[in-house]
Every structure is written in structure tokens, then in C-alpha cells.
Amino acid sequence: MHDSQKFHYYDVGGKKFTRNVDAFSYLNYMNNTHGKNFKIRFFLNFDFILNPSKYKWQEEPLMPLTYYMDEHLRLLQEKYKNFFVWYSGGTDSHPMLQTFTRLKLPAKIVWWNAPQYSNIRKIEWDNLINTDFINYMKEANKKSHLFDYHIVDQHLPTEKEIELFMSDFSGTYEAHKEMWNFPSHYTDYKGGKPQTQFLQESECTVGGYEKPFLKIRKGWWCHTLGDFVITYCPDTQTDFIWFYITDLIPELHIKLTWLRLKALETILERDNLPVTDEQISVMQRPTSKYYKEINDLSGQIALNDWLGRPGNKPNSKLPFSIGYEANKKNVIMRKKLYRPVDDFWHQEIVPSIEDKFLIHKHKRILPVHTSLIRLKKV
């Protein structure tokens, strides 16, 4: 992993860690052996987040969000010539791709299938995404050829590969236990060259996922980000860029934060909801009925309506619905393939981390957030 990709760290009593498992284990050790109430802190290595007083967080940047997105890509264009874009069509990656389109900047675009372990993903693609994706690519390439797009198949890793991966990941256990983050082999959907080859032809990989999270503390609207958002780096072969969080254009992330704040204010007032931290936390969950509206009001609009919906997965519970049979196959595969992941939970996490930090039902460690940055009074 490049030094530039060391985006984060945890701190326990002055000792730094890159994995939440190690940080929480050390926290447990220190509290038990030193009899002190040590705390765990999470930091992102961006100056405008580490040193917020140097930046105008309490003022909404004046220009539209697209202005700062364009400026960021222009600056990246000065450093890199070949771009590789991780694309899902969702509310982060589609506005990012539209930025490449506006600036007429060529890139290689990848949307992945996972037919071996996620038939639901393939059904979703075939029925709900494929036509809109291909149409967008055709329109973008109409006047000049901007994008080479690859629909790739992600192949199952072996159990041994997953076992090695779980022993050497960086970041959160929660992100790395998801199947789409496993070390895998990718090949072009139409039998073309493998992903590793066109990664090597690129200098920079661009992805988007890092939505700001709003909290209310002591009468203030505040910004924060959870450790699960940005501790997974999907590519270590090139320089990886999280598109919406950068010291090159701090106004980009600050603007997005303010747009989401105003979206929450609009909905709270319209629906006469209590302005509390608990209320806005529920509203910002990906499963919230307000999730799509918050994204729409923030200018984060997906490729199509389906991809913008909360929990936009084919229904896996109703026998007559899309994805039901695929999900049954997926459950069988998970039980077999997940052994190293479950073993890691039971053998490494549960014995070493205090129980109050564990969510056993979902096999998750409680998230840790960056320090709160004040924006405006409630």
C-alpha cells in the first residue's frame, strides 16, 4: 500500500494502530492491566479534518457542489494521465463519473458482477441496471470516445486465500468481512483481459463512498465520519483517491456536509420531527425512508431510481420476487466460504475485546468516529 493510502489510524494511549481489532484489543489490555479508563480515538489523515480550526467549517462554501468536484478532478488531471474508476451506479460513484463526463476526461470504468457468490448481484444487473448503464456509456462516448467500460466477473477466492486475508487486513473487520472486499480474481465479462492488466495501465484509481455524517452535540450541528467509511482501500496497485475527501479541495467535503445538513433541516421542519441527535442518526441510515431524499437534496443522485433507493437489493425473502432463488444459493455458499471469517470472530475478536464493544448478533465491532467538528448552532 502506498504511503499516500494510509488514510487513517486509531490511537489508544498514544499508541497507533491501523486495524480496529488491534486497537480494541490493546484498549482491553491497557484497561485491565493499568486500571485506567483508556479511550480509543479514530483519525483520518487529512489536514482539514485533523486541524479544522484552520478551515471555514462554519461557513457553507459559496459555489455549487459540482464546481468543487470539477476542480478536484482538474487538479488530479495535473498529476495523473490514466484513470481507473470504480463504479456501481450509486449515489457516490455516478456523480463522480458525471464529473469525468463534464470535463471530457477519458477513464476506464469498471462495474463488477459476482455470479459465483452473489447471484443476486447478477440478477440486479441484468434486470435493473444494465440498460441504463450501457445507454449512459453510449451517450458519453457519442461525440468522442471518453470511456472504456468493463463489466467484470469477480471469482471466488479459495478458503485459504480468505484465511490469509483475514490475518493481514488493514482497517475495520466489518468492511473486510464482506464478500465483495475479499481478495479475488477478476476477468472481463466478455472474456477480455483481466482487471490486473488494465489496473497496471492506470496511474490512479478513483472511488467514492465517504458521505459525511451529521451529529447534534451540545446544541450544535457537527460533522463526523465513522471508521467503517474509509478504512478499506480497494486497490493497492495504483494511487487510490477517495473522491469526496481531499486536502486538495477541502471545500468539496465541507460543501457536501452543509448540503446534507440543510437537507436534514428541510425534512425535519416539513415533517415536524424532533431536532435531536437520535432522530437525525436514524434518518441518515442507508435503510431510512429519508435516505434517498437526503441524497437527492445533496446532489448525490444515482444512475437510476432503483440504485438510489434505500436498501436497493432485490427482495430475498418473498418467493415470487426478484432475487429469491439467488439468495438461497448465496446463503449456502456463505456458510461454506465464511468459515475463516467466523473463525476470526470467535478466536481472535471475542476473547480479546471487551463485550460492550461487540454486537454479537451481526458479528460487528462498534464503530469509532472522528472528532466532532462544529458547523452551526441548532
pLDDT in tens, 146-156: 998 877 777 77
Torsion angle of the four alpha carbons 69, 71, 76, 82, in this order, in degrees rounded to the nearest 10: 70
* Cβ neighbours, 10 Å, residue 157: 20
For residue 147, what pLDDT is reported? 92
Distance, in Å, from the CA atom of 17 to the CA atom of 31, rounded to the nearest integer, reads: 17
Within-domain flag for 287: no
Within-domain flag for 271: no
Within-domain flag for 278: no
Counting Cβ atoms within 10 Å, is residue 121 exposed (0-12), middle (13-18) or buried (19+)? buried
Within-domain flag for 266: no
Q: Which residues pair with 42 in a beta bridge?
A: 10
Within-domain flag for 113: yes
For residue 3, what pLDDT is reported? 43
pTM tops 0.75, yes or no = yes
Q: What three-state secondary structure class fits 68?
A: helix
Phi, psi of 83 (to 5 degrees): -115, 140
> Helix axis angle, 93-102 relative to 65-79, nearest 10°?
70
For residue 261, what pLDDT is reported? 98
Residue whose cell numbers read 457542489: 65
Q: How far apart are the first and last CA of the chain?
A: 41
For residues 188 and 252, the answer to whether their CB atoms sit within 8 Å is: no
For residues 354 and 28, the answer to whether their CB atoms sit within 8 Å is: yes
Question: Would you write out the chain's pLDDT as a tens digit for each of its 378 residues?
Answer: 344 457 889 999 999 998 899 999 999 999 988 877 899 999 999 999 999 999 999 999 999 999 999 999 999 999 998 898 888 889 999 999 999 999 999 998 887 766 666 666 677 777 888 899 999 999 999 988 999 887 777 777 777 877 777 777 777 887 767 666 666 666 665 544 445 555 555 578 888 878 999 999 999 999 999 988 766 665 556 788 889 999 999 999 999 999 999 999 999 999 999 999 999 999 999 889 999 999 999 999 999 988 888 865 665 555 665 656 666 666 666 676 778 888 889 999 999 999 999 999 888 899 999 999 999 999
Within-domain flag for 300: no
Within-domain flag for 289: no
Residue whose cell numbers read 483508556: 38
Within-domain flag for 252: yes
Q: How many domains does the chain contain in total? A: 1
For residue 191, what pLDDT is reported? 45
Give residue 356's domain range. 3-259+331-377
